[in-house]
Every structure is written in C-alpha cells, then in structure tokens.
Amino acid sequence: MTTTTAPLPPGTVGAFTRAAFEAHLASLPPLPEWWLARKRAAFEHFAALPLPVRNDEAWRFSNVSGLTLDGFAPPATARAVPFASIGIRKAARLIFANGRLFSREILDSNLERRGVVVDTIQNALREHGDLVRDHLLAQPARLGSDKFSALHQAFLVDGAFVYAPRGVEVELPIGIFSFALGDQAATFPHTLVVADEGARVTVIDYFGSQDDTERQLAIGANDLYAGHGARITYVGKQDWSHQALALQSNSTVVRRDACVQSLNVHLGARQARHESHSQLQAPGAISEMLSLTVARGDQEFDQRTLQIHQAPHTRSDLLYKNALLQRARTIFSGLIVVDPDAQKTDAYQSNRNLMLSDEAEANSLPGLEIQANDVRCTHGATTSRIDSEQEFYLQARGITKRAADELLTFGFFEEVLNRLSQDDLHTALRTLIQSKFSGEKVIR
C-alpha cells in the first residue's frame, strides 16, 4: 500500500482531493487487497499527472480548456431514477444512479441456470475475483486520457459485470443503464464484459441524465474481453446532459477466432471524448468498431481510436460517421498499428462526416503504423455537405427542410446501422437518434 503526503499541484484535482478519496474508500464495502492497492496507485497517478494542454499531440484540436475538474462533487448517494419503462426486451437489466446500483433484474430465468452472471462489480470482486482482476482496467490507457482513466479507477464506486461462460449463447441483450443525477454530479460508470470460449452475448450500455441543463462530469470505461471463438456485440448510447463533460474509454481484447462488434452512438454532453482501443491478440480475431454521432449546438465530440494487430490473420474494421449541425465540432484521430509478426492483417479505418451547417467543423486525422510487409490496410476520411438537389427532391414531396435533413442523416447512418444483425436494436437506435432532432427524451 502506498501512502504519500506530498502536496498536490493546485487546480489539477478539483474536488477529487486526497481527503475526498479517503472518504470515498471509507464509503465502500471491504475491498480485496489487490483492488485497494490499484485504486490507491491510480489516485496517486491521477494526482501527479497534469491536465492535458493545447500542444499535447493526443489532444490535438480538442478544447482542452473545457477539461476542468473544478466544481464537481464526488459521487453522492443515488436518488430515484427518472423513467418508468425502458426499451426493447432484455435478458437482464442493471440500473445505476451516480455509479451506485439502483436495481438489478434478471428477466430471463435461464441465465443463472446456464451460469451467466449479470451483477455489480462490487459483488463480482467478491465472487469472481480472478476474472475481475484479470480484466477490469487491466489495459493501460494509451490514447491520452491517463489522468482521467486514473481518476475513474480511483473513484469507481460500482459498475456492471457480465460474464458468459463457455459455449453459452445469450439470445436477448443485457441492458445496463447509467444515470447522472443532480447538478455538479460526478459519475464513473463501468461495464466489464467477459465472454468465455465460444460464448455469445450482446450488451447495451446506456448513459443518460435526468435533466439536460445540469452540469455533470462523467468519466466512464468499459472492458470487453472475447475469449477463443467468442462473440460480443456491444452498443453504447451516450446521451448525457448537454452540459456534461464526458470522457469514456474502451478497451477491447479479442482472442483467437473471436469477434467483437461495438457501436457507440454519441448524442449527449457539451464536450465528449471517446477513446477506443482494440487489441487483436490471436489469429482469426476480428474487431468491428462502429460509431454514429449527431453533433449540434456547440457540442464537441472528440474520438480517438487504436486498432492494434498483434497476431497474423487478424481483422479490424472501423467506420465512424458524424453528422454535424449548427456550430458543432468533431475530431477523429485513428491509428492502425500492425506489429512485425502480424502478417496477413486486414485493417480498415474510415471516418465520414456529413456537414449540415456551414459553421460546423470536422477534423480528421487518420493514421497507419505498419511493421509487417504482407498486410492489407486502408484508411480514409471524407467530409461532405448535404446535397442541395437531394434536399430539394425531398422538399418537393412536402417534407420540411428540417425533416429532410433528418432523413438524409438517417440515410447516411444506415450503412452503419445495417452492420448490426439485430432488427430491434436498429429500431431502438433510430428512435434514440430521432430524439436528438425532435428534442424529446427517449430512453432505450
């Protein structure tokens, strides 16, 4: 266990002081020694690191001045969550409010009999300690958010743990809902998914706030681990308050002949950073990384990705699409890394931006770092405007300009939505994305 009394640099920890950290630890049930040690180390790391500054390469084009930690309170006790019914049929449902469990429902009674675990990280630390130890935040933050990842680990209260044992296919999706409640609230949601050999599981991770005017800090993470021949489908829906600062990091590890498909839909927050990091560790591993963003008002969406091919015959396929309205900004920075012995790698990276406004700004930084000589890699970025003849065609059918732009945006997104094989997921996602145009709150 580390203890130090060195003074913290002023202004870089906000409310997340040493005293707040100790109070946070005191509020938790007894933790395994290894986890407590990791949390303490994470706090020291967080406190020692500076906030990103303008000339950090990993934060190029980002509004670094928006990354303040001042004025947020460490997680408070949960209040009642703001909805009555939620979305499509699910096998199980976990609801968190400000990082604490609000409810846990196992809706498919076969789950437990088949050994599927849908539980909190707090319970999993006790009951599935080895799995949690091996996979919870086990990969380093490599895309620039070290300070925030460390803060997440230090102040992580609870989160979702999903485990599908060997050979088990979970047909219905598992829904995880994380809400931020209250002005100045800080929340650290976490979702850990482990699919054992040959298992299949779909997880829907929803992030939302009760009130779009509340200023909030949300620093979330997810770990997806697909064992030999496993398949994970992960759908993230980010719909935080429009005054939130949100940072989310993903770590995906794909083993032999396994496949992870992830789609992140970005709608909420004032400023949202998303880092996604896929490691293809063994032959036959596939990672499909998809993203849809509707950026409007003064929102900034900052997306950084890493596709690391560590073994031969692996495949990664990234397709990120952004629709930009009004004065919104997006940043996409992606890197494909192919290790020297990862021959026969198939890697794709594509970022497409649809501009619905002259004032919006899309930045794109695609990149390759290839050390093997027998690979197929393509990357590219395009930015296009709404086609005025298409817009006129729709208007000539009586469709308003706003509805025409919405329809054209959905047309633009369709290529990504079509990659998901489950129809009811499409419908729910369309409804959610539509809410961004209509302004009606939808929780799915």
CB 324 → another protein: shortest distance, Å? 17
Q: Which helix (H) or strand (E) holds 39?
A: helix 33-48
* Nearest CB to another protein, comparing residues 260 and 323: 323
CB 236 → another protein: shortest distance, Å? 22
CB 418 → another protein: shortest distance, Å? 8
Chain positions 111 to 170 lying near another protein, rule: CB under 8 A, are: none
- Which structure tokens are listed for 274? 């998303």
Chain positions 257 to 286 lying near another protein, rule: CB under 8 A, are: none
Q: What is the CA radius of gyration of the chain?
A: 21
* Locus of tokens 């991770």: 205
Q: Which of 278, 236, 276 is nearest to 254 (CA)?
A: 278
- Which structure tokens are listed for 88? 């499509």
Amino acid at position 61, single letter: F
CB 438 → another protein: shortest distance, Å? 11
Chain positions 73 to 112 lying near another protein, rule: CB under 8 A, are: none
Q: Which helix (H) or strand (E) holds 176?
A: strand 174-180
CB 407 → another protein: shortest distance, Å? 6
- Which ranges constitute the DSSP H helices of 114-160? 121-127, 129-135, 146-155
CB 340 → another protein: shortest distance, Å? 40
CB 439 → another protein: shortest distance, Å? 13
* Nearest CB to another protein, comparing residues 5 and 418: 418
* Nearest CB to another protein, comparing residues 213 and 418: 418
* Nearest CB to another protein, comparing residues 34 and 392: 392
Q: Which of 300, 274, 302, 299 is nearest to 289 (CA)?
A: 274
* Nearest CB to another protein, comparing residues 61 and 437: 437
Phi and psi of 54, rounded to 5°? Answer: -55, -35
* Nearest CB to another protein, comparing residues 4 and 438: 438
Provide the mask over 234-253, with x wherever binding to another protein is found by CB under 8 A and - wherever it is not.
--------------------
CA 53 to chain centre: 23
Cβ partners under 8 Å of residue 149, min gap 6:
42, 137, 141, 219, 221, 249
CB 76 within 8 A of CB 214: no
* Nearest CB to another protein, comparing residues 179 and 320: 320
CB 290 → another protein: shortest distance, Å? 15
CB 338 within 8 A of CB 310: no
How many other C-beta atoms lie within 10 A of the C-beta of residue 301?
27
Chain positions 26 to 55 lying near another protein, rule: CB under 8 A, are: none
* Nearest CB to another protein, comparing residues 254 and 404: 404
**What does DSSP say about strands 160-164 and 117-120: parallel, antiparallel, or unpaired?**
antiparallel
The count of residues interacting with another protein (CB under 8 A) is: 24
Provide the mask over 314-353, with x wherever binding to another protein is found by CB under 8 A and - wherever it is not.
----------------------------------------
Query: Can you tell me which of 367, 415, 421, 438 binds another protein, judged by CB under 8 A?
Result: 415
CB 346 → another protein: shortest distance, Å? 25
Q: Which of 164, 29, 153, 174 is nearest to 104 (CA)?
A: 174
Provide the mask over 384-413, with x wherever binding to another protein is found by CB under 8 A and - wherever it is not.
---xxxx-xxxxxxxxxx-xx--xx-xxxx
- Which structure tokens are listed for 273? 């950073």
How many other C-beta atoms lie within 10 A of the C-beta of residue 155?
23
Amino acid at position 382, single letter: T
* Nearest CB to another protein, comparing residues 230 and 356: 356
CB 251 → another protein: shortest distance, Å? 31
Provide the mask over 360-389, with x wherever binding to another protein is found by CB under 8 A and - wherever it is not.
---------------------------xxx
CB 444 within 8 A of CB 428: yes
* Nearest CB to another protein, comparing residues 184 and 400: 400
Q: Which of 289, 293, 301 is nearest to 321 (CA)?
A: 293
Chain positions 174 to 233 lying near another protein, rule: CB under 8 A, are: none
Q: Which residues bind another protein (CB under 8 A)?
A: 387-390, 392-401, 403-404, 407-408, 410-415
